[in-house]
């Protein structure tokens, strides 16, 4: 299986533009999440989902929307891009419960630059 | 509440010498602890994890870590560094028991490992 996939790998936006970062996983994981990684910092949680139709905010949700219509997909939408959203974005998934539920699987990341 | 401190932002070692990446944590409950590695322009890969079994945890690529509750540490070691070990390493803490909701993962700021030929 492919694991966690993200598209695009790179993106440049102008301030005020909107876009959607795609994330998909083929491991039938209930839990999916989005993180951003900024220089000199660890990853910070943006939004997460414990299953289709259920989403909630993480540590830094402002300026981002998510939806979870299927188990496989968890897109992240930037409503009106700002330079402060320049970052590397990682999608992750894991089982919700049971053995191995503590192990996150990360996608390769999307590098976003907002001019 | 929980926090993670990676004591070194950069570590430089010669190829073939031991590696030590230091991590201290604080947690108000029994935590799970992880080390992830990130190679340049790549995603994060799990190296190893501690979830309450043996305190000495062996991971991939010859890495291991020891959970020391009395010192609240989870240092990562490898006996002999290889050039391919050059990467960013993250120590991560999370609550062991989850009841749903956010993961509660707290990431350290990372340690950049440099391998000198």
The mean per-residue pLDDT over the stretch B36-42 comes to 88
The mean per-residue pLDDT over the stretch B36-65 comes to 89
> Which DSSP string do the residues of A51-99 spell out, in sequence order?
ETTEEEE-SS-TTEEE--SSSSB--EEESS--GGG-EEEEEEEE-SSST
pLDDT at residue B100 in the model: 56
With 60 as the cut, is the pLDDT of residue B85 above it?
yes
Tell me the pLDDT band of A41, cut-offs 50, 70 and 90: confident
By Cβ distance, the residue of B4, B49, B109 closest to A102 is B49
Model pLDDT for residues B4-29, shown as the tens digit of each residue: 999 999 999 999 999 999 999 998 77
Residue of A45, A42, A50 lying closest to A62 (CA atoms): A45
With 90 as the cut, is the pLDDT of residue B54 above it?
no
Instruction: Please report, rounded to a whole number, the percentage of residues in chain A having pLDDT higher than 70.
Output: 95
A55: nearest CA partner in chain B: B101
Contact assignment for A109 to B42 by CB distance below 8 Å: yes
- Gap between the Cα atoms of B25 and B71, Å rounded: 9
The mean per-residue pLDDT over the stretch B22-47 comes to 88
Counting DSSP H helices and E strands in chain B, the numbers are 0, 12
């Amino acid at each position: 299986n492919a694991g966690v996939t993200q598209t695009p790998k790179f993106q440049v936006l102008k301030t005020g533009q909107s876009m959607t970062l795609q994330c998909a996983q083929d491991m039938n994981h209930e839990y999916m999440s989005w993180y951003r990684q900024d220089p000199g910092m660890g990853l910070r949680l943006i939004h997460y989902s414990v299953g289709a139709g259920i989403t909630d905010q993480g540590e830094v949700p402002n300026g981002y929307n998510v939806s979870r219509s299927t188990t496989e997909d968890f897109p992240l939408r930037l409503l009106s891009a700002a330079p402060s959203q320049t970052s590397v974005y990682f999608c992750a998934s894991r089982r919700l419960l049971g053995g191995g539920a503590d192990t996150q699987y990360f996608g390769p990341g999307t590098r976003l630059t907002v001019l | 509440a929980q926090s993670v401190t990676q004591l070194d932002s950069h570590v430089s070692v010669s190829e073939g010498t031991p590696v030590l990446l230091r991590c201290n944590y604080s947690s108000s409950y029994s935590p799970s602890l992880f080390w992830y590695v990130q190679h340049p322009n790549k995603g994060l890969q799990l190296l190893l994890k501690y979830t309450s079994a043996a305190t000495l945890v062996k991971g991939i690529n010859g890495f291991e870590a020891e959970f020391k509750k009395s010192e609240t540490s989870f240092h990562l070691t490898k006996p002999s560094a290889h050039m391919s070990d050059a990467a960013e390493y993250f120590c991560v803490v999370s609550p062991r028991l989850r009841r749903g909701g956010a993961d509660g993962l707290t990431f350290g700021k990372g340690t950049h490992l440099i391998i000198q030929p």
